[in-house]
Amino acid sequence: MVKKLPSPPPPQPAEIQITVHPSDPKPSPLQQHPLFTKWSPWLVPLFIFANIIMFIITMFFNNCPKNSSSCVGAHFLGRLSFQPLKENPLLGPSASMLERMGALQVNKVVYGHQGWRLLTCIWLHAGVFHILANMFGLLFIGIKLEQDFGFVRIGLLYFISGFGGSLMSALFIQSSISVGASGALFGLLGGMLSELLTNWTIYANKFAALSTLLLVIVINLAVGILPHVDNFAHIGGFLSGFFLGFVFLIRPQFAWISQTTHPSGHNTVPTKPKHKLYQYVLCTIAAIILIVWFIVGLIMLFRGYNANEHCSWCHYLTCVPTKRWSCKSIAYSNCSSSQGDNQLNLTCEDSGRSRSYILSNATDNQIRDLCQQFCS
């Protein structure tokens, strides 16, 4: 008898385990920490938009064809056309229109009680080339800073640095008007430098970043020694932003960030302080310097202080004469003046134009500077 044995079960396919390793490396503690979350920038683009709108408004009210027959682009730009190149080579409005729109004019600030010009001037630009240079700089520098630190801190850094640049300019350049966002832009550069120094421990390529940033700053400040460039606004804005960076852009040290990103059960190291001692020291010193600088600077300005009279070499910081250009302003002798009660009257003999200034006991230097500006 043949006994049938049960047939063996069919072979089953072997189980294969596949382990998928993530291609992206584990985020660093800096990337995991909420303090380093990227912000969506909107304030800096708004600043750029506002500057462009202000320039268009200025050109609209300038209305070059109404006052001149040799406007640049009058056929297709109409009342938005530019002043003649001999008057404004930057393709922009007249100096008198910029003054009416809020340019920094020291005599109006000091004797006309128009201190608001220290802020309004940073929203005005002398021409197309001027605004393009500043807005491209603001786009590349400001966007990155707002992504890293948010709109509140960068907005304050921008405004206060612009004010500091205007204040420095008003103390040294008192014979001409000044406009532009360069002071605020240099404040952002100064803030980047102090941020790098005070947050030194969290950076990997420290010296490469420092050398690159210093090179950019030196090149931009060197451009300021050319004629018709207000380097005092650049220097004032840069120094203000540099000290503000120690106050506004301080970040926690790496050791504190690392321990806060680990689960509590794995944290076996002693608790680290959030900031290092030198960060607190730099923050305190910078805040004191800023407060003293703004108070003393405003007192000096509204008392009619001319810093050039006490610093014989400072004018070289904003213009260095060479064989190709001169830093001396054109002297105007065709101007007559008369002094009344708290009022100075000037008349340009060539054009017959007259203007009155609220100014008592004007000095010869003040009269010469006003004549030079009015009759140009």
Q: What is the DSSP letter of 347?
A: E
| Cβ neighbours of 286 (radius 10 Å) | 20
* Phi-psi group of 39: left, alpha or beta (phi > 0 → left; psi -120 to 50 → alpha; rest → beta): beta
Say whether 55 sits in a helix, a strand or coil. helix
From 125, 166, 169, 234, the catalytic residue = 234
Is 113 annotated as catalytic? no
Mind spelling out the 3-state secondary structure of 207-247?
HHHHHHHHHHHHHHHHHCCCCCCCHHHHHHHHHHHHHHHHH
* Residues paired with 58 in a beta bridge: none
Is 234 annotated as catalytic? yes
Listing DSSP states for 98-158 in one string gives HHHHT-B-HHHHHTS--TTHHHHGGG--SSHHHHHHHHHHHHHHHHHHHHHH-HHHHHHHH
φ, ψ for residue 20, nearest 5 deg: -100, 120
From 81, 178, 182, 194, the catalytic residue = 182
As a whole number of angstroms, the distance between CA 74 and CA 65 comes to 7
As a whole number of angstroms, the distance between CA 370 and CA 77 comes to 33
Q: What is the DSSP letter of 24?
A: S
Q: Are 160 and 244 in contact (CB under 8 A)?
A: yes
Catalytic residue numbers? 182, 234
